Amino acid sequence: MMQLSEIGGHLTARTGIDDLMEDLFKALHSGDVGLCQLNGGSPAVIPEVTELWRRSMEELVRNGKFDVLVGHYAHPGGDPAFIRALVHFLNERCGWNLTPENVAITQGGQMACFTLFNMLAGPCPDGAMREILFPLCPDYVGYQSQSLCGGVMFRGIRPGIRMLDEHTFKYVIDFERLDIRPETAAVCMSRPTNPTGNVVTDEELGLLREMTSRAGVPLMIDNAYGPPLPNICFVPVTPAWDENMILTMSLS
Ligand SMILES: Cc1ncc(COP(=O)(O)O)c(C=O)c1O
């Protein structure tokens, strides 16, 4: 039988995100026309957007850039023109002061989190076991499989629950319980949160930014779905970034 390494074991363990993606795939290919796609990620094929992709692809083919796309290696840090355009866009929209050095392109938002988690936490050369701290759980089920040393890398804080009316509640960060420890390598959360749809308020985020920068610990905000891109967020939310933050975004 093939012998797996410890990391191999972690990479091949069955996780919640595998089940979720498999469910999604089966539903998409079930051929059931009456089926309502309310699954995780529920991709929306929006005709106007599909048309835009088509026109852009045709333009790439016409002007010869498609040949470069499929035939050339890209710059390992991401296409410089794309990074410049993104920096310009984010600075205009959000009033930030980014330079191309602030931006890294990865194969996706989840790949960025995987790389960051394992760069910062886990067993360290000084003998310490560093952790990624989630200030509000439940958070994204996909994080579970991203550690190359198992669950020991992650610690989550139970949320406070604020009743909005008799039947509705909102998760809030319980700052009384939130302890950033010497072994905390980074604090991380998704905003908006998948799957609960909770959006940590600007005020909570402000407090979190203060706490993390006082502790000298980076704050990772997984901004998939958040503003300004793609902005699938239905409550007012101000995009935030500073030198102590890592903001990941997704083009999915
Ligand atoms: C919390 C969270 N982060 C990131 C992503 C997107 O990641 P990717 O760009 O790898 O598709 C998703 C998509 O479902 C998500 O729910």
What pLDDT score does 119 carry? 97
Alpha-helix runs per DSSP H in 30-173: 47-62, 65-71, 80-94, 109-120
Ligand 1 atom with the shortest distance to the CA of 111: 10
Q: What is the pLDDT of residues 136-194, one digit of tens each?
A: 999 998 998 899 998 899 999 999 999 999 999 999 999 999 999 999 999 999 999 98
Q: How far is the CA of 224 from the centre of ligand 1 (A)?
A: 6
Instruction: Give yes or no for residue 109 CB within 6 A of ligand 1.
Output: yes
* 46 or 85, higher pLDDT: 85
Assigned token pair, 175: 């700052």
Q: How far is the CA of 250 from the centre of ligand 1 (A)?
A: 6
* 42 phi, psi to nearest 5 deg: -5, 85
Place of tokens 């091949």: 12
Report the C-alpha gap between 231 and 164 in whole angstroms: 24
Report the C-alpha gap between 95 and 231 in whole angstroms: 17
Average pLDDT, the chain: 93
Tell me 224's DSSP state.
T
Ligand 1 atom with the shortest distance to the CA of 139: 1
Instruction: Give yes or no for residue 193 CB within 6 A of ligand 1.
Output: no
Instruction: Give yes or no for residue 115 CB within 6 A of ligand 1.
Output: no
Q: How far is the CA of 141 from the centre of ligand 1 (A)?
A: 10
Instruction: Give yes or no for residue 80 CB within 6 A of ligand 1.
Output: no
Locate the domains of the chain by residue range. 46-75, 78-105, 106-248
Contact of 105 with 77, CB cutoff 8 Å: yes
- Is pLDDT at 201 greater than 80 in this prediction? yes
Report the C-alpha gap between 20 and 12 in whole angstroms: 16
CATH of 106-248, picked from 3.40.50.2000, 3.40.50.12280, 1.10.8.60, 3.40.640.10, is: 3.40.640.10
Q: What is the pLDDT of residues 15-39, one digit of tens each?
A: 888 888 888 888 888 988 888 777 6
- Quick one: how far is CA 231 from the chain centroid? 14
Instruction: Give yes or no for residue 190 CB within 6 A of ligand 1.
Output: yes
Q: What is the pLDDT of residues 52-106, one digit of tens each?
A: 999 999 999 999 999 998 999 988 888 999 999 999 999 999 999 999 999 999 9
Beta partners for residue 186, in sequence order: 132
Q: How far is the CA of 221 from the centre of ligand 1 (A)?
A: 12
117-149 residues labelled b (16+ CB within 10 A) or e (exposed): bbebbbeeeeeeebbbbbbbeebbebbebbbbe
Q: How far is the CA of 165 from the centre of ligand 1 (A)?
A: 31
